[in-house]
Amino acid sequence: STQELIKKRSRQKKIIFVDIDTQYDFVDRRGALYVKEAEKLKAVWSKLTKFAYNKGILIISSQDTHKKKDPEFKSFPPHCIRESWGYKKIPQTLLPNYQVLSFEKKSFEELFRIKEDFPQIILEKNVLNIFSNPNAEELLKVILPEQVYVYGLVTEFCVKEAVLGFKKFVDEVFVIEDALKEIDPKAKEQVFREFKNKGIKFIKTDEVWEKFKDF
């Protein structure tokens, strides 16, 4: 019935999947900042991407986007230079239809239209934190999510920043444990402790499929 459709739609609209930095420079062995064994997660990332699309759940992705002389390259080797091969998102986490939001600020109305028109919104960033993109916080005001599910890499850097950033605005933030990749297992343990202290929830992909199977 129409009522059921409306109810279902509003339920989906309250959930977003967040895919952090799944780009060649991090995931591919030939990448500038290759994260060991990250390629093993391609299948699960692909499944999450298709799953969200089939369930009508919006995906927000971050895309690390640098110029040749960015300050970050004092701490990390050059990587994800705009338009380079390594900057590109891997196909497993890219829907055919998406909108990229770069560093130019959009209006609330523009963001609302984008949210309605695209199943995937990609936010470029040139530092660790996705909320450095001038559209990130405004986009949350447009979507007003109640639950956020985060996956991708690197756990102790950009994932950590994203998770803590979302937690400032959204009560229920989940990290999908078996869809994250860290560089240093000790650092990951520390980050997970911090997440627990901040009330971040942990979930596995099997539980995600189960939780949303009736959507």
Query: What integer pLDDT is reported at residue 10 of this predicted model?
Result: 74
What are the φ and ψ backbone dihedral angles of 21, each rounded to 5 degrees? 55, 35
Q: Cβ contacts of residue 102 below 8 Å, gap of 6+?
A: 65, 124
Q: What is the distance between the alpha carbons of residues 108 and 124, in angstroms, rounded to a whole number?
A: 18
Query: What integer pLDDT is reported at residue 129 of this predicted model?
Result: 94
Query: What integer pLDDT is reported at residue 1 of this predicted model?
Result: 72
Q: Whose CA is closest to 179, among 159, 200, 164, 197?
A: 159
Q: For each of the chain's 215 residues, which pLDDT tens digit applies? A: 777 776 766 777 899 999 999 999 999 999 999 999 999 999 999 999 999 999 999 999 999 999 988 888 888 889 999 999 999 999 999 999 999 999 999 999 999 999 999 999 999 999 999 999 999 999 999 999 999 999 999 999 999 999 999 999 999 999 999 999 999 999 999 999 999 999 999 999 999 999 999 88
Q: Cβ contacts of residue 138 below 8 Å, gap of 6+?
A: 105, 106, 108, 111
Q: What is the distance between the alpha carbons of residues 190 and 19, in angstroms, rounded to a whole number?
A: 21
State the amino acid at position 136 in one-letter form: A
Query: What integer pLDDT is reported at residue 9 of this predicted model?
Result: 65
Domains and CATH numbers, the chain: 13-211 (3.40.50.850)
Q: What is the distance between the alpha carbons of residues 88 and 75, in angstroms, rounded to a whole number?
A: 21
| pTM, full prediction | 0.94
Q: What is the distance between the alpha carbons of residues 22 and 4, in angstroms, rounded to a whole number?
A: 35
Alpha helices in 56-199 (DSSP H): 108-117, 136-143, 160-167, 185-197
CA angle 55, 51, 194 (to 5 degrees): 105
Query: What integer pLDDT is reported at residue 209 of this predicted model?
Result: 97
Query: What integer pLDDT is reported at residue 76 of this predicted model?
Result: 83
